[in-house]
Every structure is written in structure tokens, then in C-alpha cells.
Chains A and B, each alone.
Chain A
């Protein structure tokens, strides 16, 4: 289990836990970002910029600041196919 910040780009990841305060968690749920969703990291801003996450389950994209990304724990899903 690693945090989203450490996750490699372009790999399919599974959201294991969303930690953090209630406000952040509620916001993520509202944006269709839940536990057990499959996601992948698409891009990263320069200089410790935000992380662009593609949610494969709901087919949406969200930019997450590093503080938020630290609190999202993921597992790398074994290579597709």
C-alpha cells in the first residue's frame, strides 16, 4: 500500500483508503472518487505541483494537490491483461 504521491505514472491503481479530514473526504466522494475505484496517475505539475488523476471507474479527471494526494492510499493492480 502506497500513497498516491509515490504511485508510478500510467499504472492502474486501486484506491484502498481515503484518509484525511471529513471536508476533504466528502469533497472527493462528491466528485465521484470512492474507495475501491480504479485510478491512474496521468501527469504531475512541475515543482511539486498537483497530481492529475484519471478515475477509470467513473471516467473523470481530478487534479489533486499534494496534501490531498498524500492521504489517498492505493495498491498497484497487477498489469492489465
Chain B
């Protein structure tokens, strides 16, 4: 059954600072950001606090326990599976009224629970003063004020958690209006004893009354036809009495109860002038000014990465070249040299070519995410997304794709409709991720100039739009309208961005780097055994005749499937030149065609795997096939116009 460590679940609405709080306790393992629903993977963490081990689970943010998007369904199934010993409900104090609606729903579970009243500093800045004691009495559970970003209140929260675990006191269910409560009681008594009750009878009854007719009704009609009939008539009675469907009545009940609790437990100073974030928001979301700003942000993003990465790269390449010369002098040209050379290319290429661009990109992505700009971009770009059959909610996964396609595809779970998920996931692999940005900057920007690279980016986005437009012919049904929460702007903390970058960097050195090194060594060995020639001959119809590239590059394109940067590092190795002497063997045009092909050709292995897992085998293969066709067509097009 359960292991001996108590299970503590962190649950809260998106942007409540849940992951930040979790990080403050468990260390920087969970990814956090300021966009609804970006904690897509749930994180288990075993933490020892004051000599006691806790099994802490961080669930993705959810607005309610009545899921309407895949990410929320995950929350619900985990909540039921884990049967937590304690729930820590993280609440955004600055929007307490709305946040309490979930709190009230959680209380109905009657599990041991405490509330982390987070971001109290933000609430105070907005003029909302909350009395935790009063809130505690109204909710019937401990309330601990916290400021997760500064680590404040964490100790008190843990103390409260231990106290609650030791006492094992269950949370009291809130009471709704008596007429609704009567129906709930009546129906809950109808639930047969052998029925798989979740948490408790009342909770199960409420959830069934709130449930979606199509979803729940059919299953229930099959297994418990009598209960299903009783459920229907209970729903009908509520609807007749209140003039609205049961799910709306119950939602409204919680809403009013939450507002009442807010009123009784807090004091609002009105008439304050606009806070900084509201004033900035007026400009960021302005119907006209918003767009040049959006364009500016991305130009700046791009140039900063190039301006930081370029010189850094040049600086690091020198020593690398000298080291290589030293090896060749010492080891001759035998097997040993080939292995050493492959090792050096893999490790050195990672340090000198990949990291200079990769690191600043990660850092700026973290900045945009934490600021909350992604949701704003979604608002601004909604109209344009309609042109490719999607809407503004897909913008965030797309932008995340510029960092890495894998989390981008995971984050499509925030999309309610499966069609939107498929369409977005098919387009994401065409977004130039950090690996491809590295190639674009290291090859196109370095050898043809930054404006070429910028042009490349625009061209790339144009291609995405064209593919999207074409795909809408196959995915016709219209997507449901945009409903996207715009979280308040938050000044990103340097510490948080740094820790996020560090997490990504660690993942890179754990998974990608070994691939780069391994790939380089394999290529070295193939060269030593002259096996590379066979493969190159095999690909030469496409590589030489189609793309007009040197035959030696054939093998590098194949290996790009493992990891996109590998193509770049292997390219130098295959051509047998140093990075700075690249132009002696290939022309600028060839560099461009190579970059185009590598960019569009086949999603990398991790992307392919996550597509398979998240959306399905068919879509993963469809994506791979699509990318091969697009890569060939676009490269031929580029070759013919330059």
C-alpha cells in the first residue's frame, strides 16, 4: 500500500506561486513560470525537514476540480490516486476572491489541509489587507501567510504542516445554501454502499451533480442505471428551483461564499492610484502600441543573444583549435587521435559553440516567462493565430518552442480541444529551438551577418504560418473561442531566472552533451574505418545533386536526428576544418542551404518521443514525414533563389 512517508500535495490555481513555494522547500527542481499551466509535469520530491521525511508532490495549477483542459485532468487523477495525508493549498492573496473558489472545493474533500496565503506582499501593495486569523476561522483550517519568492513564511508553513499531520485533523466541508445542501444530502444518501466513493460521500455527490452530462452520464447509465436516474432528477430539481443548471448553481454558490469570506476577512483600501504593473500593462496591451513593442521585444531578444554569444564563441574557439593541433602533434593520425579528436570536438563544440548562444537564450526565455509576457503575446497575436486555425492560447507553446520543442509540446496540454493540440504540436517542431538558434547564429549570423540570421528567422516563421494554413485544410472543425487568463505582471527575480537556467543547463549536460560527445566519437570512428564514405555515397543524390552540398555532409544530416547541434559539430569534423576556416571549403550559399535543411529536417529524437507519448504515434510519424518534405522543398527553394 502506501509507503511510510506522509504524502503532501501542493495544489493551487495557475500563477499562485505554487512551484516557487515548492522550490523553496524542495530545492530548484520544479520549473516555474508566469503562464497559466506551465507546470505540466508533476514533480515528486522527497524532502527531509527537521529530521522528518516528506513525500511532496507539486501538481500543475488548476482553476477548479472540474477539469476542462487536459492539464487539469492530470491534477484530478493524481489527487485521487495519491490519497494525500495533507493538502497544502497555495492561494494567491492578491486575487483572494477567485482563489478561494478552489479552496472551498478542496475543503469538500475533507482531507487534512492547510492554506498557504502566498504573495501577501503583492496583495498589500494592491491595498488588500488580509487577516489570516479571521480567514482561518472562516475556513476552518490553518492559514499561513507566505512570500514564496523571498522564502518568507516557509518555516511557519512547514511547522503548520507537521502539526496538521500529527493531529490528522480533517478539514470541514463548507456549507452551501440550505436548498442546495438538501439536494446534495438527499442524493448522497442514494449512493449505494459498494459505489467507488472518492474522498467522502458528500464530495462524490457534489462532483456527480456538477458533472458533465455526456461524460459522466453515459458511464453511470451503464454501471448504475438506478443511481443515474436519481442523479438526473436531482439535477433537474436544482435547475427548476434556481433557473440554472446544477453545475452553474454550485459554481455560483462557491463564488458567493468565496466573496463573502473575502469581505469578512480582508480590508480593502480603495482609491489607490494604479500600480506599476497596471500602468505598464496599459502600454503592453495597447491595441496599437502593443505590436511594435512585441516586435521590439523579439528583436532585442535575438540581438542580445547574438551580441553576447558571438564574442564569447570567438573567444572560446581559439584555445579549442590550439588544443586540437596539440593532439594531432602528439598522437599522429591513428585510432587514438581519432578518438581523442572526437572527444574534443564533442566536449569543445558543446562549450565553445553551443553554450555561448544557449545560455543567454535560456536566460531571456526565463525572463519573458516569469514576467508574464507570454500570455500578453497570446492576446496580441490571437487575430493572427486565427489565420492558421488556432487562437491566442497556442502562442505560449509556440514561444516556449523557441527554447526547446519538448516542453512546448508538453505545454499544449493547456489547450482544451484535441484538434488544437494536434495542430499546435505539428507546428511546434518547425519553430527554431535553442539548438537550431545556435546553428543559425553560429553559421548564418557568423558568416553571412546578423541580418541574414534575422531574415532567416522571419522566413522560418513565415514557413510555419504557411504550413499552419495548409494544415487547416485537413483539420477543419473550428477551435473553441479564446478564454485566456492574463496573470498580473511580475518582476522576475534574478535568482529565480538563474536557477531556472541552471536546471535547463543541467538537463543539457546530462542528456544532450553525452549525445554530442558520443556522436562525435562515432563519426571519428566511422572516418577512421572509412565507413562514412558508404553512408555519404548513399545520401549523395540528395546532398550533392539536390542541395548542392559537399558529399561529406550527408552523414551529419542523419545524425541531426539525435540532436540538432550535432549536425553543426559534425559538419566541422566531417569537412575536416576548424570553425574559423569554414569558408575555405564551403560557400556562403552552401552554409545557408545546410542551415535551412537542418532546421526543418525531422524533429529531434526527444521531440519525436514526446510527440509520440503526448499526442500519439501517428502524429509523431506524420510530423517526421511532414518535416522531411518541408526540409527538402524549402532547401531546394532557397538554393534556387540564391
Contact = CB atoms under 8 A, between A and B. Distances in A.
B485 interface: yes
Contacts of B483: 24, 27-28, 31, 62-65, 68
B63 A50 contact: no
Chain A, interface size category, equals 35 or more
B66 interface: yes
Contacts of B486: 52, 61-63
A59 interface: yes
Contacts of B63: 30-32
A63 B482 contact: yes
A51 to B, nearest CB: 9
B248 A25 contact: yes
A52 to B, nearest CB: 6
A33 to B, nearest CB: 8
Interface string B118-142: 0000000010000000000000000
Given A24-B480, A26-B247, A52 B379 contact: yes
B382 interface: yes
Contacts of B356: none
B95 interface: yes
B392 A43 contact: no
Given A50-B379, A59-B94, A31 B485 contact: yes
Contacts of B288: 46
Contacts of B212: 22, 26
Which 8 pairs show the lowest CB-CB distances between chains A and B?
A65-B482, A32-B98, A65-B481, A67-B481, A68-B481, A30-B63, A58-B98, A29-B251
Contact of B252 (A34, A43, A66): A34
Nearest to A9: B287
A28 B101 CA distance: 13
Contacts of B391: 65
B3 to A, nearest CB: 33
Contacts, number: 125
**Interface residues of A, dominant DSSP:** mixed
Contacts of B418: none
B124 to A, nearest CB: 14
B255 interface: yes
Nearest to B483: A27
Nearest to A62: B485
Given A57-B97, A63-B484, A64-B481, A49 B287 contact: yes
Nearest to B94: A59
B114 to A, nearest CB: 22
Contact of A61 (B255, B392, B480, B485): B485
A45 B95 contact: no
A68 B482 contact: yes
B417 to A, nearest CB: 9
17 contacts: A23-B68, A24-B481, A26-B66, A31-B483, A32-B97, A32-B98, A32-B255, A45-B383, A50-B484, A52-B285, A55-B98, A59-B94, A60-B98, A62-B485, A63-B375, A63-B378, A63-B382
Contacts of A24: 480-481, 483
B286 A43 contact: yes
Contacts of A42: 282, 285
A42 to B, nearest CB: 7
A47 interface: yes
Interface of A: 22-32, 34-35, 42-50, 52, 55, 57-68
A61 B64 CA distance: 17
Contacts of B110: none
B206 interface: no
Given A45-B382, A65-B481, A65-B483, A29 B285 contact: no
A56 B161 CA distance: 34
Given A59-B94, A59-B97, A63-B484, 10 more contacts: A25-B248, A29-B252, A34-B255, A48-B383, A49-B287, A49-B379, A50-B482, A52-B379, A63-B483, A68-B483
A46 B485 contact: no
Interface string B60-86: 000110101000000000000000000
B578 interface: no
A26 B101 CA distance: 13
Interface string B367-394: 0000000010011101100000001100
A12 to B, nearest CB: 14
Interface in B482-511: 482-488
A49 B379 CA distance: 8
Nearest to B214: A22
A43 B480 contact: no
A46 B382 CA distance: 10
Contacts of B485: 31, 60-63
Interface string B10-27: 000000000000000000
Contacts of B245: 22
Nearest to A68: B481
Nearest to A20: B481
Contacts of A63: 375, 378-379, 382, 392, 482-486
B251 A58 contact: no
A10 B41 CA distance: 39
Query: Could you say which of A23, A45, A52 has the most chain B C-beta atoms within 10 Å of its C-beta?
Result: A45
Interface in B433-491: 480-488
Contacts of B95: 32, 58-60
Contacts of A32: 63, 95, 97-98, 101, 255
A57 B259 contact: yes
B416 interface: yes
B291 interface: yes
A23 B379 contact: no
